[in-house]
Structure 1
Amino acid sequence: MREAIAIATLALAACGAGSGEGLDQNGQPTGLQPTLASIQDNVFTVTCAVPGCHGGTGAQQGLRLDPGFSAGNLINVPSPRDPNLIRVVPGDPDASFLIQKLQGTQTLGDRMPDGGPYLTTAQVNVIRQWIQGGAPTQ
């Protein structure tokens, strides 16, 4: 399944290669903003909330990232494997286990998305900005 998603992603990227249409000056989708709604639509739903990962009732580590579930499963929620690791600490991206997992600096488990392709630095920075701003849900 991951291979099919990766191939589809590469195919879509190749379709618009070179045009820059729909991308900002950093080459990122123009829709990605430091809000939960934007991160949900542009990152969590398409990258994380997929079958076998963090989507649906069988979500890994109980971390369901489907629309409507992300905030309640991330903000001030401890990791079930280590309650000292808080998934999202509003105002403190460096203390947020989510950022550690996305950057590969975590002390527990693997970097996410598992096996890659990993989020770009720009994508992670948008998530960092959202957390730094207090991780508002609206």
Structure 2
Amino acid sequence: MYTLGMMRPQTPLASLTAWASSTAWSPLAAVASLAALASLTGCPAPAVTYAPSFGSIQTAIFNVSCSTRSCHGSPSFKAGLNLEEGSAYDDLVGVVPETVSARNRGMKLVDPGNPDNSFLVLKLAGPLQPDDGGLMPQRNAALPAQAVAAIREWIKQGALK
């Protein structure tokens, strides 16, 4: 990066220092600056913890990876499934899937106490049968193994709200 009137490269830290000396500091500016500096220095983002509770799963998984406009959020609700906050639990727990192959095997989207009979787990981690459709999420990277493990454990514990 070059600055006006200078032909020497300016490092990100030098840019931040120059900006800081010309700007009145506020708490928000300080936080933003530290966040920018952390990203420039390659500091890793804080690790996400996935708790096996519905509230945690809704916040850390469904809200982030599933309930988008093009998937299981308004207005599309793919496969008739609404994973938005306030609707996801009732649309999942004890509900028979629309997918005929899963329905014919007696599966539920979430079968409390039985993650191996929960179509949600199969859609996230496999193994799927040919007529089950593809793994989810389709447009994003696969969920971390810890996220799927939290969902399995929540279901195993009875899928409580």
Shorter-chain TM-score above 0.5 = yes
Percent identity over the alignment is 35
Counterparts of 1:125 and 1:20 in 2: how far apart (Å)?
A: 23
Following superposition of structure 1 onto structure 2, how do residues 102-113 of structure 1 map, counting pairs within 5 Å?
Answer: 102-107=124-129, 108-113=132-137
Question: Could you tell me how far 1:17 is from its partner in structure 2?
Answer: 8.2
Larger radius of gyration: 2
Write out per-residue CA displacement over residues 43-74 of structure 1, whole angstroms, 9 at most, x where no aligned residue.
00110000110001420011110001111110
Distance 1:97 1:17, change over 3 A: farther
Q: Give the residue type in structure 2 aligned to 1:100.
A: L
Question: Could you tell me how far 1:21 is from its partner in structure 2?
Answer: 5.7
1:89 aligns with 2:111: yes
Following superposition of structure 1 onto structure 2, how do residues 116-135 of structure 1 map, counting pairs within 5 Å?
Answer: 116-135=140-159
Q: Give the residue type in structure 2 aligned to 1:95.
A: N
Question: Could you tell me how far 1:85 is from its partner in structure 2?
Answer: 2.9
1:41 matched to which residue of 2? 59
Question: Could you tell me how far 1:120 is from its partner in structure 2?
Answer: 1.1
Which structure has more strand as a fraction of its residues?
A: 1
Counterparts of 2:122 and 2:96 in 1: how far apart (Å)?
A: 14
> What TM-score results when the alignment is normalised by the length of structure 2?
0.67
Which structure has more helix as a fraction of its residues?
A: 2
- Of 78, 81, 87, which aligns to 1:63? 81
Alignment gaps of 5+ in structure 2: 1-37
- 83-92 or 122-131, which moves further after superposition? 83-92
1:73 aligns with 2:98: no
RMSD: 2.0
Q: Give the residue type in structure 2 aligned to 1:102.
A: L
The structure, 1 or 2, with the larger RCO (C-alpha pairs under 8 Å, 6+ apart) is 1
- CA contact under 8 A between 1:54 and 1:63: conserved in structure 2? yes
- CA contact under 8 A between 1:102 and 1:124: conserved in structure 2? yes
